[in-house]
Chains A and B, each alone.
Chain A
């Protein structure tokens, strides 16, 4: 609830910002889109950040569950750096890059008073296909995206009853996820204004950036734990009884940047 309210507030604030920058769209003509032409293709970089709720799925040894109540809730956050291949003329665009994510959860057995607070961090290699709705030069577009990532574990910590039990990365294995989401893309024009003595204010090199407010669902498709690990991952229960997957629901912000360039008209 708080998360939703925060994002709505950010959205409204940004709407006020971007509506004021709409002058550039006045004389730009929204010619027809194509699916993916190779004209005007550009590569830009983008940073995205999202946080959200995790809904565990899968199987744990008898008696164990993932705690999700007012005392403890699993959390997930991720930071992505993407290279985005897109064209203003195109409906489709493609992104890939690197993602760093952090998952925190509490696997506990109430009966046996066995609490395992786990921190699992991954570096993922994501790939997305995006489809843009709306006009070419409009102030905003809706973008839907679909993709997946291949995940490499980099950090594992298990605090068992507040004592560090294991940091052995071999507990985890490579996994993969599927993602889908929807974004509101705001096409922002930033201007840098120069004032010189005795001259009128001039506009110098407007820059177009894309701001995203998005919602993403990610499903962890394969077991994040290595069931062949030689020691017990949990104090009670066979490793082969552990099959952890989950569904992540996240809200995020993103910014695709394009360096400012000015080319003389000749």
Chain B
């Protein structure tokens, strides 16, 4: 078991701990989060931001989250629909005791990176999901359903991936000898692996390094009769792929912080990116970040935040104030009160803010909750907060159920 303590960032990549996803600044929830009645507690922590929690002696605000190490990829179906996700075991400790839950995190890949599509917690039976674990994060042997994956890929004419899953299923052991597996044993592996390599290269050229690596790794893992020269070429390609993947990943993270005006974090990212590959543009951005740090951009940022508070509380210019605070929402510079102000504005956004930040009906509730819990988590207490939380919001607003 391990406990999340450190603030982190980053997109999920193959081999990374999925928990990192919840600390990613750019992760957003894009669809409904179902929850069974009376168990909204489990969902709430994702909205709070896993990077911070507090443990106090007198019990009222005690909570701690522990994640199981056994993260499993699962294929779930409900009715005719199915999706891929990760099954994660979680224990939540509060003053009321310990709650264990199992969650299926449905993921989707977008051009901007991996996003959480939805989270299904403890509702698997009530919503009649059926989930089958297909592979384990650790290399522990056990029941192996990779054959199903192989069949699916085969039916979709992805012979290369189908073969990869098939070989992996064989390595798990206990594979049934049905007509499919018997037929598959006879395929021309050499040509399929060559085709895999070709496909991987095509994806590499297109900049889809993650997918390219999938093909390359399947060859490396399963192609037993691989020649020395092919193997060397494969290793070289994989190294290039990984480097470029890491390089662009760091740039993406750096750009996010750069645009948010968090120059110290941006500089850290750009520095790592430059260690993979030199780029004049990135060097320029890194230099800009250094200058900003030397000029004391933090002080400027703090001034801007102070200005935003004034705009909101004294001048009633809520849109502009919110925009400034939103810009710094991941900087670590905002106080609990700032998040409380943002929560109130997000709860009743103007048309302009609704459009600019996609504060639709569902997201409005989630965003308000997230900011309120963040404010509370930072120790912000006031009569105004109590009135807003207890009197102004109703039960549906508080839980977003």
Contact = CB atoms under 8 A, between A and B. Distances in A.
Interface of A: 23-32, 39-40, 42, 88-89, 137, 189, 191, 203, 205-208, 258, 261-263, 265-266
Interface in B367-401: 372-373, 376, 382-395, 397-398
Contact of B387 (A39, A206, A265): A206
Contact of A206 (B318, B386, B394): B386
A39 B368 CA distance: 14
Nearest to A23: B383
Nearest to B380: A27
Contact of B350 (A24, A32, A88, A203): A32
Interface stretch (B27-35, B66-74, B200-208, B336-344): B336-344
A12 B344 CA distance: 32
B341 A29 contact: yes
A26 B382 contact: yes
A27 B44 contact: no
15 contacts: A24-B386, A26-B313, A27-B313, A29-B312, A29-B341, A29-B345, A31-B347, A32-B350, A39-B397, A206-B390, A261-B391, A263-B389, A263-B395, A263-B398, A265-B389
A31 B348 contact: yes
A165 B394 CA distance: 56
Nearest to A204: B386
A208 B390 CA distance: 10
A263 B44 CA distance: 15
A224 B384 CA distance: 49
Interface of B: 41, 44, 63, 94, 312-313, 316, 318, 337, 340-341, 344-345, 347-348, 350, 372-373, 376, 382-395, 397-398
Given A42-B394, A89-B348, A191-B383, A27 B389 contact: no
A88 B372 contact: no
Nearest to A135: B316
A203 B384 CA distance: 12
Contacts of A23: 383
A265 B372 contact: yes
Contacts of B316: 30
